[in-house]
Structure 1
Protein backbone atom coordinates (compact mmCIF):
# COMPACT_ATOMS: atom_id res chain seq x y z
CA UNK A 1 0.00 0.00 0.00
CA UNK A 2 1.33 3.43 -0.97
CA UNK A 3 2.20 5.93 1.74
CA UNK A 4 0.51 9.30 1.43
CA UNK A 5 2.66 12.44 1.55
CA UNK A 6 1.03 15.80 2.16
CA UNK A 7 2.86 18.78 0.66
CA UNK A 8 1.86 22.13 2.19
CA UNK A 9 2.62 25.31 0.24
CA UNK A 10 1.63 28.76 1.58
CA UNK A 11 0.93 31.34 -1.11
CA UNK A 12 0.62 35.11 -0.85
CA UNK A 13 0.40 36.85 -4.24
CA UNK A 14 2.11 33.90 -5.95
CA UNK A 15 -0.06 33.59 -9.07
CA UNK A 16 3.04 33.34 -11.29
CA UNK A 17 4.56 30.51 -9.22
CA UNK A 18 1.73 28.11 -8.39
CA UNK A 19 1.63 26.37 -11.78
CA UNK A 20 5.39 25.84 -11.65
CA UNK A 21 5.49 24.39 -8.12
CA UNK A 22 2.46 22.19 -8.88
CA UNK A 23 4.08 20.72 -11.99
CA UNK A 24 7.43 20.24 -10.27
CA UNK A 25 5.90 18.34 -7.32
CA UNK A 26 3.83 16.18 -9.67
CA UNK A 27 6.96 15.28 -11.66
CA UNK A 28 8.84 14.36 -8.49
CA UNK A 29 6.15 11.92 -7.33
CA UNK A 30 5.89 10.35 -10.78
CA UNK A 31 9.37 8.99 -10.01
CA UNK A 32 8.33 7.78 -6.54
CA UNK A 33 5.97 4.84 -7.18
CA UNK A 34 5.91 3.86 -3.49
CA UNK A 35 4.20 7.12 -2.56
CA UNK A 36 1.02 8.97 -3.33
CA UNK A 37 0.68 12.66 -2.58
CA UNK A 38 -1.69 15.54 -1.96
CA UNK A 39 -0.71 19.14 -2.58
CA UNK A 40 -2.33 21.67 -0.25
CA UNK A 41 -1.90 25.30 -1.29
CA UNK A 42 -2.93 27.83 1.35
CA UNK A 43 -3.97 31.14 -0.19
CA UNK A 44 -3.01 33.63 2.53
CA UNK A 45 -5.30 36.49 1.52
CA UNK A 46 -3.70 37.15 -1.86
CA UNK A 47 -4.77 40.24 -3.78
CA UNK A 48 -3.56 39.11 -7.21
CA UNK A 49 -4.85 36.28 -9.46
CA UNK A 50 -3.65 33.53 -7.10
CA UNK A 51 -7.18 32.24 -6.44
CA UNK A 52 -7.98 32.16 -10.14
CA UNK A 53 -4.89 30.08 -10.86
CA UNK A 54 -5.76 27.75 -7.98
CA UNK A 55 -9.18 27.18 -9.53
CA UNK A 56 -7.62 26.29 -12.90
CA UNK A 57 -5.19 23.77 -11.37
CA UNK A 58 -7.90 22.25 -9.15
CA UNK A 59 -10.00 21.47 -12.20
CA UNK A 60 -7.12 19.52 -13.77
CA UNK A 61 -5.40 17.84 -10.82
CA UNK A 62 -7.46 15.66 -8.42
CA UNK A 63 -4.52 15.66 -5.98
CA UNK A 64 -4.60 19.44 -5.68
CA UNK A 65 -6.33 20.95 -2.64
CA UNK A 66 -6.53 24.48 -1.38
CA UNK A 67 -7.45 26.58 1.63
CA UNK A 68 -8.40 30.22 1.08
CA UNK A 69 -8.05 32.56 4.06
CA UNK A 70 -10.52 35.40 4.58
CA UNK A 71 -7.55 37.78 4.84
CA UNK A 72 -3.77 37.74 5.19
CA UNK A 73 -2.98 35.93 8.46
CA UNK A 74 0.74 35.44 7.79
CA UNK A 75 3.13 32.80 6.51
CA UNK A 76 3.44 30.80 9.74
CA UNK A 77 -0.31 30.44 10.22
CA UNK A 78 -0.71 29.50 6.56
CA UNK A 79 1.73 26.60 7.04
CA UNK A 80 -0.02 25.68 10.30
CA UNK A 81 -3.40 25.61 8.52
CA UNK A 82 -2.00 23.28 5.88
CA UNK A 83 -0.67 20.94 8.56
CA UNK A 84 -4.02 21.07 10.38
CA UNK A 85 -5.82 19.78 7.29
CA UNK A 86 -3.20 17.37 5.92
CA UNK A 87 -4.00 13.67 6.10
CA UNK A 88 -0.67 12.23 4.91
CA UNK A 89 1.60 9.80 6.75
CA UNK A 90 4.07 12.68 6.72
CA UNK A 91 3.81 16.38 5.88
CA UNK A 92 6.32 18.41 3.86
CA UNK A 93 6.13 22.22 4.03
CA UNK A 94 7.84 24.35 1.41
CA UNK A 95 7.60 27.81 -0.14
CA UNK A 96 5.85 28.53 -3.41
CA UNK A 97 8.68 30.42 -5.12
CA UNK A 98 10.76 27.34 -6.08
CA UNK A 99 13.68 28.38 -3.86
CA UNK A 100 12.99 25.22 -1.87
CA UNK A 101 13.94 22.63 -4.51
CA UNK A 102 11.20 20.00 -5.01
CA UNK A 103 13.98 17.67 -6.22
CA UNK A 104 15.00 17.29 -2.56
CA UNK A 105 11.73 15.58 -1.62
CA UNK A 106 13.10 12.04 -2.29
CA UNK A 107 16.04 12.79 0.02
CA UNK A 108 13.70 13.98 2.76
CA UNK A 109 11.57 10.85 2.37
CA UNK A 110 14.65 8.61 2.45
CA UNK A 111 15.68 10.02 5.85
CA UNK A 112 12.09 9.67 7.07
CA UNK A 113 12.14 6.00 6.06
CA UNK A 114 15.33 5.62 8.13
CA UNK A 115 13.34 6.55 11.21
CA UNK A 116 13.78 10.32 11.55
CA UNK A 117 10.52 11.99 12.56
CA UNK A 118 11.67 15.52 11.63
CA UNK A 119 13.85 16.10 8.57
CA UNK A 120 14.68 19.78 8.30
CA UNK A 121 16.77 21.70 5.78
CA UNK A 122 19.60 24.17 6.21
CA UNK A 123 20.07 26.78 3.50
CA UNK A 124 23.65 27.26 2.35
CA UNK A 125 24.87 30.83 1.97
CA UNK A 126 23.55 32.29 -1.26
CA UNK A 127 26.18 34.53 -2.86
CA UNK A 128 23.54 35.94 -5.19
CA UNK A 129 21.99 37.79 -2.27
CA UNK A 130 23.24 41.21 -1.27
CA UNK A 131 25.86 41.50 1.44
CA UNK A 132 23.34 43.26 3.69
CA UNK A 133 20.81 40.44 3.27
CA UNK A 134 23.40 37.79 4.12
CA UNK A 135 24.64 39.66 7.19
CA UNK A 136 21.14 40.33 8.53
CA UNK A 137 20.29 36.63 8.03
CA UNK A 138 23.29 35.59 10.15
CA UNK A 139 22.43 38.18 12.78
CA UNK A 140 18.86 36.88 12.82
CA UNK A 141 19.92 33.39 13.93
CA UNK A 142 22.53 34.69 16.38
CA UNK A 143 19.89 36.93 17.93
CA UNK A 144 17.40 34.09 18.36
CA UNK A 145 19.93 31.58 19.68
CA UNK A 146 21.40 34.04 22.16
CA UNK A 147 18.01 34.80 23.73
CA UNK A 148 15.93 31.65 23.14
CA UNK A 149 16.72 28.07 24.12
CA UNK A 150 15.89 26.35 20.84
CA UNK A 151 19.29 26.01 19.12
CA UNK A 152 18.32 26.88 15.55
CA UNK A 153 21.11 26.29 13.06
CA UNK A 154 22.05 29.22 10.85
CA UNK A 155 20.14 28.95 7.59
CA UNK A 156 17.32 26.81 8.98
CA UNK A 157 14.37 27.03 6.60
CA UNK A 158 10.64 26.33 6.65
CA UNK A 159 11.33 23.52 4.18
CA UNK A 160 10.94 20.39 6.30
CA UNK A 161 9.30 17.00 6.63
CA UNK A 162 7.45 16.02 9.78
CA UNK A 163 6.01 12.64 10.67
CA UNK A 164 2.28 12.17 11.23
CA UNK A 165 2.81 12.01 15.01
CA UNK A 166 4.50 15.44 14.88
CA UNK A 167 1.72 16.82 12.68
CA UNK A 168 -0.84 15.66 15.26
CA UNK A 169 1.08 17.49 17.98
CA UNK A 170 1.23 20.64 15.84
CA UNK A 171 -2.52 20.44 15.22
CA UNK A 172 -3.21 20.54 18.97
CA UNK A 173 -1.03 23.61 19.53
CA UNK A 174 -3.14 26.77 19.57
CA UNK A 175 -0.48 29.46 19.84
CA UNK A 176 -1.63 32.83 18.58
CA UNK A 177 1.67 33.52 16.80
CA UNK A 178 3.37 30.16 16.15
CA UNK A 179 7.07 30.08 15.32
CA UNK A 180 7.22 26.80 13.41
CA UNK A 181 11.00 26.62 13.07
CA UNK A 182 11.25 26.74 16.83
CA UNK A 183 8.29 24.42 17.45
CA UNK A 184 9.72 21.75 15.16
CA UNK A 185 12.88 21.79 17.29
CA UNK A 186 10.96 22.03 20.56
CA UNK A 187 8.95 18.83 20.00
CA UNK A 188 12.13 16.75 20.07
CA UNK A 189 12.02 13.23 18.53
CA UNK A 190 14.69 12.07 16.10
CA UNK A 191 15.74 14.90 13.81
CA UNK A 192 18.10 15.20 10.85
CA UNK A 193 19.28 18.29 8.97
CA UNK A 194 20.10 18.39 5.26
CA UNK A 195 21.98 21.27 3.66
CA UNK A 196 20.83 22.57 0.29
CA UNK A 197 21.67 25.25 -2.25
CA UNK A 198 18.70 27.60 -2.59
CA UNK A 199 17.39 27.84 -6.14
CA UNK A 200 16.67 31.13 -7.84
CA UNK A 201 13.20 32.50 -7.20
CA UNK A 202 11.02 31.62 -10.21
CA UNK A 203 8.93 34.82 -10.27
CA UNK A 204 8.05 37.79 -8.10
CA UNK A 205 9.79 39.23 -5.07
CA UNK A 206 10.42 37.88 -1.59
CA UNK A 207 7.65 38.75 0.89
CA UNK A 208 10.06 38.62 3.83
CA UNK A 209 11.26 42.18 4.29
CA UNK A 210 13.74 43.21 7.00
CA UNK A 211 10.81 44.42 9.12
CA UNK A 212 9.08 41.04 8.87
CA UNK A 213 12.33 39.22 9.68
CA UNK A 214 12.79 41.32 12.82
CA UNK A 215 9.19 40.71 13.83
CA UNK A 216 9.59 36.96 13.28
CA UNK A 217 12.78 37.01 15.37
CA UNK A 218 10.96 38.75 18.23
CA UNK A 219 8.13 36.22 17.98
CA UNK A 220 10.65 33.40 18.11
CA UNK A 221 12.43 34.76 21.18
CA UNK A 222 9.30 35.67 23.14
CA UNK A 223 7.61 32.35 22.28
CA UNK A 224 10.40 30.18 23.66
CA UNK A 225 12.17 32.17 26.34
CA UNK A 226 11.67 34.72 29.13
CA UNK A 227 15.39 35.53 29.00
CA UNK A 228 14.74 39.11 27.76
CA UNK A 229 12.88 39.79 31.01
CA UNK A 230 15.86 38.59 33.04
CA UNK A 231 18.11 40.70 30.82
CA UNK A 232 15.97 43.77 31.54
CA UNK A 233 16.10 43.07 35.30
CA UNK A 234 19.88 42.58 35.30
CA UNK A 235 20.37 45.70 33.18
CA UNK A 236 18.33 47.79 35.60
CA UNK A 237 20.23 46.40 38.58
CA UNK A 238 23.58 47.08 36.90
CA UNK A 239 22.80 50.74 36.18
CA UNK A 240 21.39 51.19 39.68
CA UNK A 241 24.67 49.97 41.16
CA UNK A 242 26.70 52.12 38.77
CA UNK A 243 24.71 55.19 39.81
CA UNK A 244 26.05 54.73 43.36
CA UNK A 245 29.49 55.71 42.08
CA UNK A 246 28.16 59.25 41.62
CA UNK A 247 27.12 59.59 45.30
CA UNK A 248 30.63 60.33 46.72
CA UNK A 249 31.06 63.19 44.21
CA UNK A 250 27.72 64.72 45.20
CA UNK A 251 28.50 64.39 48.94
CA UNK A 252 31.92 65.97 48.45
CA UNK A 253 30.41 68.90 46.54
CA UNK A 254 27.84 69.51 49.25
CA UNK A 255 30.49 69.34 51.96
CA UNK A 256 32.82 71.83 50.26
CA UNK A 257 29.99 74.10 49.09
CA UNK A 258 30.96 73.81 45.43
CA UNK A 259 28.38 73.54 42.66
CA UNK A 260 27.56 70.21 41.07
CA UNK A 261 28.39 70.96 37.45
CA UNK A 262 27.34 69.13 34.31
CA UNK A 263 23.93 70.29 33.06
CA UNK A 264 24.50 68.67 29.64
CA UNK A 265 25.63 65.35 31.12
CA UNK A 266 22.61 65.32 33.44
CA UNK A 267 20.22 65.86 30.52
CA UNK A 268 21.96 63.14 28.49
CA UNK A 269 21.71 60.78 31.46
CA UNK A 270 17.99 61.50 31.85
CA UNK A 271 17.35 60.91 28.14
CA UNK A 272 19.44 57.72 28.18
CA UNK A 273 17.67 56.21 31.17
CA UNK A 274 14.30 57.38 29.87
CA UNK A 275 14.93 55.48 26.64
CA UNK A 276 16.17 52.46 28.58
CA UNK A 277 13.03 52.40 30.68
CA UNK A 278 10.83 52.61 27.60
CA UNK A 279 12.79 49.73 26.04
CA UNK A 280 12.32 47.58 29.15
CA UNK A 281 8.62 48.47 29.29
CA UNK A 282 8.39 47.49 25.61
CA UNK A 283 9.86 44.04 26.39
CA UNK A 284 7.38 43.55 29.20
CA UNK A 285 4.60 44.87 26.96
CA UNK A 286 5.34 42.28 24.27
CA UNK A 287 4.89 39.43 26.73
CA UNK A 288 1.72 40.96 28.19
CA UNK A 289 0.39 41.57 24.68
CA UNK A 290 0.98 37.94 23.71
CA UNK A 291 -0.91 36.78 26.81
CA UNK A 292 -3.72 39.26 26.07
CA UNK A 293 -4.17 38.02 22.51
CA UNK A 294 -3.96 34.37 23.59
CA UNK A 295 -6.65 34.77 26.25
CA UNK A 296 -9.11 36.12 23.65
CA UNK A 297 -9.23 32.57 22.27
CA UNK A 298 -10.04 33.75 18.76
CA UNK A 299 -9.42 31.30 15.89
CA UNK A 300 -5.90 31.65 14.54
CA UNK A 301 -7.21 31.85 10.99
CA UNK A 302 -10.52 31.94 9.14
CA UNK A 303 -11.11 29.81 6.05
CA UNK A 304 -13.16 31.50 3.36
CA UNK A 305 -13.33 28.57 0.94
CA UNK A 306 -11.75 25.16 0.41
CA UNK A 307 -12.19 21.88 -1.46
CA UNK A 308 -11.08 19.91 1.63
CA UNK A 309 -13.57 18.29 3.95
CA UNK A 310 -12.99 20.35 7.07
CA UNK A 311 -12.19 18.79 10.43
CA UNK A 312 -11.45 15.45 8.87
Structure 2
Protein backbone atom coordinates (compact mmCIF):
# COMPACT_ATOMS: atom_id res chain seq x y z
CA UNK A 1 0.00 0.00 0.00
CA UNK A 2 1.32 3.52 -0.76
CA UNK A 3 2.28 5.51 2.30
CA UNK A 4 0.17 8.60 2.92
CA UNK A 5 2.13 11.82 3.47
CA UNK A 6 0.39 14.93 4.84
CA UNK A 7 1.68 18.36 3.90
CA UNK A 8 0.60 21.15 6.30
CA UNK A 9 0.60 24.65 4.79
CA UNK A 10 -0.38 27.55 7.12
CA UNK A 11 -1.72 30.54 5.16
CA UNK A 12 -2.34 34.12 6.22
CA UNK A 13 -2.83 36.68 3.44
CA UNK A 14 -0.81 34.59 0.98
CA UNK A 15 -2.96 35.00 -2.12
CA UNK A 16 -0.02 35.96 -4.36
CA UNK A 17 1.99 32.86 -3.39
CA UNK A 18 -0.60 30.12 -3.88
CA UNK A 19 -0.31 29.50 -7.65
CA UNK A 20 3.49 29.28 -7.68
CA UNK A 21 3.49 27.04 -4.61
CA UNK A 22 1.06 24.59 -6.19
CA UNK A 23 2.93 24.61 -9.52
CA UNK A 24 6.23 23.94 -7.73
CA UNK A 25 5.14 21.35 -5.17
CA UNK A 26 2.78 19.19 -7.26
CA UNK A 27 5.35 17.65 -9.65
CA UNK A 28 7.78 17.10 -6.77
CA UNK A 29 5.18 15.15 -4.79
CA UNK A 30 4.06 13.17 -7.84
CA UNK A 31 7.66 12.12 -8.53
CA UNK A 32 8.12 10.37 -5.16
CA UNK A 33 7.37 6.66 -5.60
CA UNK A 34 5.01 4.57 -3.46
CA UNK A 35 3.34 7.52 -1.78
CA UNK A 36 -0.03 9.22 -1.82
CA UNK A 37 -0.49 12.78 -0.61
CA UNK A 38 -2.86 15.11 1.14
CA UNK A 39 -2.08 18.84 1.23
CA UNK A 40 -3.80 20.57 4.16
CA UNK A 41 -4.03 24.34 3.80
CA UNK A 42 -4.89 26.10 7.06
CA UNK A 43 -6.41 29.52 6.43
CA UNK A 44 -5.57 31.49 9.57
CA UNK A 45 -8.17 34.24 9.20
CA UNK A 46 -6.83 35.74 5.96
CA UNK A 47 -8.20 39.17 5.00
CA UNK A 48 -7.45 38.98 1.26
CA UNK A 49 -8.77 36.40 -1.23
CA UNK A 50 -6.52 33.60 0.04
CA UNK A 51 -9.46 31.52 1.27
CA UNK A 52 -11.38 31.84 -2.01
CA UNK A 53 -8.34 30.70 -4.00
CA UNK A 54 -7.77 27.74 -1.68
CA UNK A 55 -11.39 26.63 -1.88
CA UNK A 56 -11.21 26.79 -5.68
CA UNK A 57 -8.04 24.71 -5.50
CA UNK A 58 -9.86 21.87 -3.73
CA UNK A 59 -12.18 21.58 -6.72
CA UNK A 60 -9.25 21.09 -9.10
CA UNK A 61 -6.97 19.00 -6.87
CA UNK A 62 -8.70 16.17 -4.97
CA UNK A 63 -5.72 15.75 -2.66
CA UNK A 64 -6.10 19.31 -1.30
CA UNK A 65 -8.11 20.20 1.78
CA UNK A 66 -8.70 23.57 3.41
CA UNK A 67 -9.26 24.18 7.11
CA UNK A 68 -10.86 27.59 7.64
CA UNK A 69 -10.34 29.04 11.12
CA UNK A 70 -12.86 31.44 12.64
CA UNK A 71 -10.22 34.19 13.02
CA UNK A 72 -6.46 34.70 13.08
CA UNK A 73 -5.07 32.49 15.86
CA UNK A 74 -1.39 32.66 14.88
CA UNK A 75 1.01 30.27 13.20
CA UNK A 76 1.52 28.04 16.25
CA UNK A 77 -2.23 27.37 16.38
CA UNK A 78 -2.36 26.85 12.60
CA UNK A 79 0.35 24.20 12.85
CA UNK A 80 -1.57 22.54 15.66
CA UNK A 81 -4.71 22.43 13.48
CA UNK A 82 -2.77 20.77 10.69
CA UNK A 83 -1.35 18.14 13.02
CA UNK A 84 -4.78 17.42 14.49
CA UNK A 85 -6.60 16.89 11.18
CA UNK A 86 -3.77 15.19 9.28
CA UNK A 87 -4.11 11.49 8.55
CA UNK A 88 -0.73 10.72 6.96
CA UNK A 89 1.81 8.14 8.03
CA UNK A 90 4.21 11.10 8.04
CA UNK A 91 3.51 14.84 8.28
CA UNK A 92 5.52 17.75 6.84
CA UNK A 93 4.79 21.39 7.76
CA UNK A 94 5.99 23.82 5.08
CA UNK A 95 5.56 27.55 4.45
CA UNK A 96 3.81 28.61 1.28
CA UNK A 97 6.47 31.25 0.44
CA UNK A 98 8.91 28.57 -0.85
CA UNK A 99 11.79 29.78 1.32
CA UNK A 100 12.05 26.16 2.41
CA UNK A 101 12.75 24.19 -0.81
CA UNK A 102 10.12 21.52 -1.58
CA UNK A 103 12.84 19.62 -3.47
CA UNK A 104 14.09 18.54 -0.03
CA UNK A 105 10.91 16.54 0.63
CA UNK A 106 12.18 13.54 -1.37
CA UNK A 107 15.31 13.38 0.79
CA UNK A 108 13.18 13.66 3.93
CA UNK A 109 10.96 10.77 2.85
CA UNK A 110 14.04 8.66 2.02
CA UNK A 111 15.52 9.30 5.49
CA UNK A 112 12.17 8.48 7.10
CA UNK A 113 11.96 5.18 5.23
CA UNK A 114 15.42 4.34 6.54
CA UNK A 115 14.17 4.57 10.12
CA UNK A 116 14.22 8.22 11.17
CA UNK A 117 11.13 9.37 13.08
CA UNK A 118 11.93 13.08 12.74
CA UNK A 119 13.83 14.56 9.81
CA UNK A 120 14.91 18.13 10.56
CA UNK A 121 15.79 20.60 7.81
CA UNK A 122 18.60 22.89 8.97
CA UNK A 123 19.34 26.22 7.29
CA UNK A 124 23.10 26.46 6.75
CA UNK A 125 22.87 29.68 4.75
CA UNK A 126 20.41 32.41 5.77
CA UNK A 127 21.72 35.23 3.60
CA UNK A 128 18.18 35.75 2.32
CA UNK A 129 17.30 37.06 5.81
CA UNK A 130 18.39 40.46 7.06
CA UNK A 131 21.53 40.79 9.19
CA UNK A 132 19.45 41.84 12.21
CA UNK A 133 17.19 38.80 11.89
CA UNK A 134 20.16 36.44 11.55
CA UNK A 135 21.89 37.88 14.63
CA UNK A 136 18.78 37.95 16.80
CA UNK A 137 17.88 34.39 15.77
CA UNK A 138 21.38 33.20 16.62
CA UNK A 139 21.21 34.97 19.97
CA UNK A 140 17.83 33.41 20.75
CA UNK A 141 19.06 29.87 20.13
CA UNK A 142 22.18 30.40 22.25
CA UNK A 143 20.28 31.93 25.17
CA UNK A 144 17.45 29.41 25.05
CA UNK A 145 19.75 26.41 24.92
CA UNK A 146 21.85 27.83 27.76
CA UNK A 147 18.78 28.24 29.98
CA UNK A 148 16.78 25.13 29.13
CA UNK A 149 17.42 21.41 29.39
CA UNK A 150 15.46 21.02 26.12
CA UNK A 151 17.87 22.02 23.37
CA UNK A 152 16.32 23.46 20.22
CA UNK A 153 18.41 22.66 17.11
CA UNK A 154 19.85 25.93 15.83
CA UNK A 155 18.52 27.20 12.49
CA UNK A 156 15.89 24.45 12.30
CA UNK A 157 12.44 25.90 11.63
CA UNK A 158 9.03 24.27 11.32
CA UNK A 159 9.98 22.59 8.01
CA UNK A 160 10.57 18.95 8.96
CA UNK A 161 9.12 15.47 8.53
CA UNK A 162 7.47 13.74 11.49
CA UNK A 163 6.37 10.13 11.73
CA UNK A 164 2.81 9.39 12.86
CA UNK A 165 4.08 8.33 16.31
CA UNK A 166 5.62 11.81 16.74
CA UNK A 167 2.40 13.51 15.62
CA UNK A 168 0.38 11.45 18.09
CA UNK A 169 2.76 12.44 20.89
CA UNK A 170 2.39 16.13 19.99
CA UNK A 171 -1.40 15.82 19.89
CA UNK A 172 -1.37 14.42 23.44
CA UNK A 173 0.23 17.58 24.86
CA UNK A 174 -2.52 19.64 26.56
CA UNK A 175 -0.89 23.07 26.77
CA UNK A 176 -2.52 26.01 25.04
CA UNK A 177 0.35 28.51 24.96
CA UNK A 178 2.34 26.62 22.36
CA UNK A 179 5.89 27.12 21.16
CA UNK A 180 6.05 24.50 18.44
CA UNK A 181 9.81 24.45 17.89
CA UNK A 182 10.24 23.62 21.55
CA UNK A 183 7.52 20.98 21.49
CA UNK A 184 9.09 19.33 18.44
CA UNK A 185 12.34 19.04 20.40
CA UNK A 186 10.67 18.04 23.68
CA UNK A 187 9.01 14.86 22.38
CA UNK A 188 12.36 13.38 21.33
CA UNK A 189 12.36 10.32 18.99
CA UNK A 190 15.03 9.27 16.52
CA UNK A 191 16.13 12.35 14.61
CA UNK A 192 18.30 13.03 11.58
CA UNK A 193 19.15 16.41 10.04
CA UNK A 194 19.39 17.51 6.41
CA UNK A 195 21.10 20.80 5.53
CA UNK A 196 19.85 23.28 2.96
CA UNK A 197 20.19 26.89 1.84
CA UNK A 198 17.28 29.19 2.66
CA UNK A 199 15.84 31.01 -0.33
CA UNK A 200 14.13 34.39 -0.65
CA UNK A 201 10.34 34.56 -0.50
CA UNK A 202 8.61 33.70 -3.77
CA UNK A 203 5.89 36.31 -3.12
CA UNK A 204 4.40 38.49 -0.42
CA UNK A 205 6.13 39.59 2.77
CA UNK A 206 6.73 38.16 6.22
CA UNK A 207 3.79 38.44 8.63
CA UNK A 208 6.10 38.48 11.66
CA UNK A 209 6.92 41.95 12.96
CA UNK A 210 9.79 42.62 15.34
CA UNK A 211 7.29 42.70 18.22
CA UNK A 212 5.80 39.35 17.13
CA UNK A 213 9.24 37.76 17.02
CA UNK A 214 10.01 39.17 20.48
CA UNK A 215 6.78 37.66 21.83
CA UNK A 216 7.64 34.33 20.20
CA UNK A 217 11.08 34.42 21.82
CA UNK A 218 9.49 35.10 25.23
CA UNK A 219 7.20 32.12 24.66
CA UNK A 220 10.27 29.99 24.02
CA UNK A 221 12.12 31.19 27.11
CA UNK A 222 9.19 30.81 29.50
CA UNK A 223 7.76 27.57 28.05
CA UNK A 224 10.71 25.32 28.73
CA UNK A 225 12.69 26.81 31.60
CA UNK A 226 12.27 28.51 34.96
CA UNK A 227 15.94 29.54 34.88
CA UNK A 228 15.13 33.25 34.27
CA UNK A 229 13.43 33.36 37.67
CA UNK A 230 16.48 31.82 39.31
CA UNK A 231 18.74 34.27 37.50
CA UNK A 232 16.86 37.25 38.93
CA UNK A 233 17.03 35.66 42.38
CA UNK A 234 20.80 35.48 41.92
CA UNK A 235 20.91 39.09 40.71
CA UNK A 236 18.92 40.17 43.77
CA UNK A 237 21.27 38.28 46.08
CA UNK A 238 24.35 39.79 44.44
CA UNK A 239 22.81 43.26 44.65
CA UNK A 240 22.04 42.84 48.36
CA UNK A 241 25.57 41.59 49.03
CA UNK A 242 27.08 44.53 47.12
CA UNK A 243 24.88 46.95 49.11
CA UNK A 244 26.09 45.42 52.38
CA UNK A 245 29.73 45.81 51.34
CA UNK A 246 29.13 49.39 50.23
CA UNK A 247 27.36 50.17 53.51
CA UNK A 248 30.29 48.73 55.48
CA UNK A 249 32.75 50.88 53.50
CA UNK A 250 30.68 54.01 54.18
CA UNK A 251 30.58 53.20 57.90
CA UNK A 252 34.35 52.61 57.94
CA UNK A 253 34.98 55.87 56.05
CA UNK A 254 32.75 57.80 58.47
CA UNK A 255 34.56 56.40 61.51
CA UNK A 256 37.97 57.31 60.09
CA UNK A 257 37.34 60.57 58.20
CA UNK A 258 34.18 61.84 59.85
CA UNK A 259 30.72 62.43 58.42
CA UNK A 260 31.06 64.20 55.09
CA UNK A 261 28.09 65.25 52.95
CA UNK A 262 28.48 63.63 49.50
CA UNK A 263 26.55 64.70 46.43
CA UNK A 264 23.28 63.21 45.32
CA UNK A 265 24.17 61.80 41.82
CA UNK A 266 25.36 58.47 43.19
CA UNK A 267 22.20 58.12 45.28
CA UNK A 268 20.02 58.99 42.26
CA UNK A 269 21.80 56.45 40.03
CA UNK A 270 21.49 53.73 42.67
CA UNK A 271 17.75 54.32 43.12
CA UNK A 272 17.11 54.32 39.37
CA UNK A 273 19.24 51.21 38.81
CA UNK A 274 17.70 49.07 41.54
CA UNK A 275 14.21 50.35 40.74
CA UNK A 276 14.68 49.26 37.12
CA UNK A 277 15.96 45.86 38.22
CA UNK A 278 12.88 45.42 40.38
CA UNK A 279 10.54 46.38 37.52
CA UNK A 280 12.26 43.94 35.15
CA UNK A 281 12.05 41.12 37.70
CA UNK A 282 8.36 41.87 38.35
CA UNK A 283 7.72 41.86 34.59
CA UNK A 284 9.44 38.51 34.23
CA UNK A 285 7.43 37.10 37.10
CA UNK A 286 4.32 38.44 35.37
CA UNK A 287 5.21 36.48 32.21
CA UNK A 288 5.05 33.22 34.14
CA UNK A 289 1.88 34.22 36.00
CA UNK A 290 0.33 35.19 32.66
CA UNK A 291 1.07 31.72 31.28
CA UNK A 292 -0.61 30.16 34.32
CA UNK A 293 -3.61 32.46 33.79
CA UNK A 294 -3.98 31.53 30.12
CA UNK A 295 -3.61 27.80 30.78
CA UNK A 296 -6.08 27.88 33.69
CA UNK A 297 -8.87 29.26 31.44
CA UNK A 298 -8.65 26.13 29.26
CA UNK A 299 -9.82 27.88 26.10
CA UNK A 300 -9.38 25.90 22.87
CA UNK A 301 -6.21 26.51 20.89
CA UNK A 302 -8.25 27.24 17.77
CA UNK A 303 -11.80 27.17 16.42
CA UNK A 304 -12.59 25.69 13.02
CA UNK A 305 -15.24 27.62 11.09
CA UNK A 306 -15.46 25.18 8.22
CA UNK A 307 -13.53 22.46 6.43
CA UNK A 308 -13.45 22.38 2.64
CA UNK A 309 -12.67 19.37 0.46
CA UNK A 310 -13.85 16.80 3.00
CA UNK A 311 -15.23 14.65 0.21
CA UNK A 312 -11.80 14.47 -1.42
CA UNK A 313 -9.79 11.90 0.47
CA UNK A 314 -10.74 12.83 4.04
CA UNK A 315 -12.43 10.39 6.38
CA UNK A 316 -15.90 11.89 7.04
CA UNK A 317 -16.23 9.90 10.27
CA UNK A 318 -13.28 11.64 11.84
CA UNK A 319 -14.09 14.78 13.77
CA UNK A 320 -11.39 17.47 13.84
CA UNK A 321 -9.84 17.93 17.26
CA UNK A 322 -9.91 21.30 19.02
TM-score, normalisation: structure 2? 0.93
Match of 1:119 in 2: 119
State the shift of 1:260 in Å.
4.4
1:296 aligns to 2:301 (yes or no) = no
> 154-163 or 142-151, which moves further after superposition?
142-151
Match of 1:217 in 2: 217
Partner of 2:67, secondary structure, is strand
1:109-258 correspondence runs (5 A):
109-252=109-252, 255=255, 257-258=258-259
Aligned partner of 1:311 among 297, 313, 319: 319
State the shift of 1:45 in Å.
1.0
Tell me the alpha carbon deviations over residues 183-202 of structure 1, each in whole angstroms, 9 at most, x when there is no partner: 11111110011111112211
Partner of 2:125, secondary structure, is coil
- Cα distance in 2, alignment partners of residues 130 and 98 from structure 1: 17
> 107-116 or 244-253, which moves further after superposition?
244-253
- Cα distance in 1, alignment partners of residues 222 and 234 from structure 2: 18
- Cα distance in 1, alignment partners of residues 259 and 127 from structure 2: 62
- Cα distance in 2, alignment partners of residues 87 and 288 from structure 1: 36
State the shift of 1:253 in Å.
5.5
Contact 1:174 1:300 in 2 (8 A): no
Tell me the alpha carbon deviations over residues 142-162 of structure 1, each in whole angstroms, 9 at most, x when there is no partner: 122122222223211110111
Number of residue equivalences:
312
- Cα distance in 2, alignment partners of residues 72 and 259 from structure 1: 64
Superposition RMSD in Å: 1.5
Tell me the alpha carbon deviations over residues 228-253 of structure 1, each in whole angstroms, 9 at most, x when there is no partner: 11111111111111111112233245
Partner of 2:203, secondary structure, is coil
TM-score, normalisation: structure 1? 0.95
- Cα distance in 1, alignment partners of residues 149 and 261 from structure 2: 47
Runs of 4+ in 1 over 3 A off after TM superposition: 252-257
Tell me the alpha carbon deviations over residues 78-127 of structure 1, each in whole angstroms, 9 at most, x when there is no partner: 01110000000010011110111111111000110011111111112222
- Cα distance in 1, alignment partners of residues 98 and 18 from structure 2: 9
State the shift of 1:254 in Å.
5.1
Match of 1:266 in 2: 267
Partner of 1:292, secondary structure, is helix
